[in-house]
Chains A and B, each alone.
Chain A
Amino acid sequence: MAAINRDDVAHLARLAHIEMSAEELDRMAGELAVIVDSVKSVSEAAGDDVPATSHPIPLTNVFREDVVGHTFTAEQALSGAPDAYEGRFKVPAILDEG
């Protein structure tokens, strides 16, 4: 697993829309490096015969039947919205993304 450096952290912070000071970047680069190292030692313990997994419990095919359940009213849906207009969420103009 590749080591994590300060530039990686700055890149991730930008992607995640998290504003970080130079000091925070330094500190986080150190902390994340420790975490990545810890994961690395787990990888060493798992041999080639252990497949990568995304889930700790070996479950598959957890399905729901295609039957309509509960819904919110528009009022309920918008109850936590910072701003709303005519039953819809109101958000600032977005141009440079998406």
Chain B
Amino acid sequence: MSDATLSFEEAMEKYDPVLGFEVHVELNTKTKMFSSAPNVFGDEPNTNVNEVDLGMPGVLPVVNRTAIESSIKIGLALNCKIAETCRFARKNYFYPDTPKNFQTSQYDEPIAYDGYLDIELSDGTVFRVEIERAHMEEDAGKLTHMGGAAGRIQGADYSLVDYNRSGVPLVEIVTKPIEGAGSRAPELAKAYVAAVREIVKNLGVSDARMERGNVRCDANVSLRPHGRERFGIRSETKNVNSLRAVEHAVHYEIRRHAAVLESGEPVVQETRHWHEDTRSTTSGRPKSDADDYRYFPEPDLVPIVASREWVEELRATLPEPPAARRKRLQADWGYSDLEFRDVVNAGVMDEIEETIAAGATATVARKWWMGEIVGRAKNADVDPGQLGVAPATIVELNKMVEDGKINNKMATEVLDGVLAGEGTPAEIVEKRGLAVVSDDGPLLEAIDAALAAQPGVADKIRGGKIQAIGAIVGGVMKATRGQADAGRVRELILERLGVEG
């Protein structure tokens, strides 16, 4: 059953990968594409349906205006041209996921076409992915295969169908063939789908939750020997539904194709099923470039005309694109490329922005999120933003440190207290008795004791070897159980010994 594969390195040595993606985005409209039934995930089966979704005879679909506007926004965000007029078409096929025996889609007249997306890879390299088209269609019902092995279609006795998802508005985004990615292909695949997801989420047109199937990716992979222009035969891995899985699926298919080509056999043009458990694909069905779906214009729907005024109105409502926002924030905050990339990869950019808005400096916000919170979130296995640290807490903690009320070490202790639900930073400082000893009296006593305990060190400092002071400071900190302000201790020691700092 399992296919032979080459190592990724060997595959790269001999072959050049060409990629292509079809990403389906479910829109978060209140109702469906062509019916007024609710577009809601997770309800009781076959309750979010009416006669249109069930394809009953004589029904008349009517287009959802909001879905059209969301589709145009997606097109604009992908730098596409928006068709002045376009139509829906019927894609005819027999499968119980549609009760109509056709899917209402778009064929030769997509609403958006000829766009591009600049994808930034983890090291900052920017790779342009050309968008062929983005067209509107409706989602299909959900099939559950019963009997047989683990809900898979192979060996199933029968299938159960829930049409709640039937008719949910979809936008399918299709890339042009992506050449030149080389060994970065798996990473690019993941970054591209992540970028599309980020864009539709930022536009507010989709909930963009991959685990719910709001964003689904079909990944096309083919290989050709280095230097050859003609594309190899491709496979299409269907429904790869997490970012990590997209990366793994492309990686796997490259290794599998390479092994097939090495054996001298041609690659079979087919769909592949992705299996997360084994991180591999299995053969689906053969696929030709011209599957005979007998497309024809949908006679029950009239053409969509997107006037230039309408398109410009919609363009004016677009939020700042995520990539532009990142550039602006990095410049505002004065982070280096590496610092900023770390922040983005750790997923705390929004949190840092909020913390700065709450009154922290960019440096302080980064120190707390990257230095303290990210690590704690990792240990707790949650997103940093979900850990429960409010921007105001960071601002308060930092102010306490700057005012000399607590030191950095205590501040991290207070943070732990906040996370344990012990109250506000001020309350925790009070309750735990954490306060920097600021009265010089007890400090001087501790300093005198430390100097007396290490007379050799005291002499060195008197002699000008100021770097030796650490040993005395350490002694004082130990004696005060970390509650002294180290900076002040240093000053006092120098004063005591009559040495200029």
Give residues in A with beta carbon < 8 Å to B.
11-12, 15-17, 54-55, 57, 59-74, 77-78, 85-98
Contacts and interface: CB of A to CB of B under 8 A. Distances in A.
Contact of B48 (A17, A71, A87, A92): A71
Contacts of B153: 93-95
B44 A55 contact: no
A59 B46 CA distance: 33
B366 interface: no
B282 interface: no
Interface stretch (B191-199, B209-217, B299-307, B381-389): B299-307
B74 interface: no
Interface in B261-310: 285, 292, 294, 296-299, 301-305
A88 B95 contact: no
Contact of A55 (B93, B94, B147, B302): B302
Contacts of B144: 88
A17 B65 CA distance: 35
A66 B29 contact: yes
Interface residues on B, range: 35 or more
B36 A59 contact: no
Contacts of A69: 31, 35-37, 50
B85 interface: yes
B46 A60 contact: no
A68 B30 contact: yes
Give the most central of B47, B85, B145: most A CB within 10 Å. B47
Given A64-B65, A68-B37, A96-B285, 8 more contacts: A54-B298, A64-B31, A87-B47, A89-B161, A90-B160, A93-B153, A93-B158, A98-B285
Interface of B: 29-31, 35-38, 44-51, 54, 62-68, 85, 87, 92-97, 144-145, 147-148, 153-154, 156-163, 285, 292, 294, 296-299, 301-305
Given A69-B50, A74-B45, A77-B163, A91 B96 contact: yes
A19 to B, nearest CB: 14
9 contacts: A17-B94, A54-B87, A54-B296, A62-B301, A62-B302, A66-B67, A68-B37, A74-B44, A77-B163
Contacts of B161: 88-91
Contacts of A73: 47
B30 A66 contact: yes
B54 to A, nearest CB: 6
Contact of A78 (B46, B95, B147): B46
Contacts of A77: 46-47, 49, 54, 163
Nearest to B142: A88
A61 B303 CA distance: 6
B143 to A, nearest CB: 8
Contact of B65 (A66, A68, A70, A72): A66
A74 B49 CA distance: 8
Contacts of B158: 90-93
B304 A60 contact: yes
Given A63-B62, A68-B30, A95-B154, A15 B292 contact: yes
B30 A67 contact: yes
B297 A54 contact: yes
B95 A94 contact: yes
Give the most central of B36, B66, B156, B305: most A CB within 10 Å. B36
Instruction: Determine chain A's interface SS by DSSP, over half rule.
Output: loop
B131 to A, nearest CB: 25
A30 B162 CA distance: 42
Nearest to B154: A95
B163 A89 contact: yes
B38 A71 contact: yes
Given A54-B297, A63-B62, A71 B304 contact: no
A60 B88 CA distance: 12
Nearest to B48: A71
A86 B292 contact: no
Contact of B49 (A11, A54, A71): A71
B31 A67 contact: yes
Contact of A63 (B36, B46, B63): B63
Contacts of A71: 37-38, 47-50
A97 B50 CA distance: 26
Q: Kindly list the 8 A-B residue pairs having the minimum CB-CB distance in the complex, ordered from nearest.
A: A69-B36, A54-B297, A66-B66, A63-B65, A98-B95, A88-B160, A89-B161, A64-B62
A98 B287 CA distance: 11
Give the most central of A17, A91, A93, A95: most B CB within 10 Å. A93
A68 to B, nearest CB: 5
B160 A72 contact: no
A59 to B, nearest CB: 4
A66 B93 CA distance: 28
Contacts of A74: 44-47
A64 B128 CA distance: 37
B157 A62 contact: no
Contacts of A55: 297, 299, 302-303
Nearest to B140: A98
A25 to B, nearest CB: 18
Given A71-B37, A85-B160, A88-B161, A98 B93 contact: yes
A83 B305 CA distance: 42
Contacts of A62: 62-63, 301-302
A63 B68 contact: yes
Contacts of B65: 63-66
Contact of B156 (A59, A65, A93): A93
B369 to A, nearest CB: 38
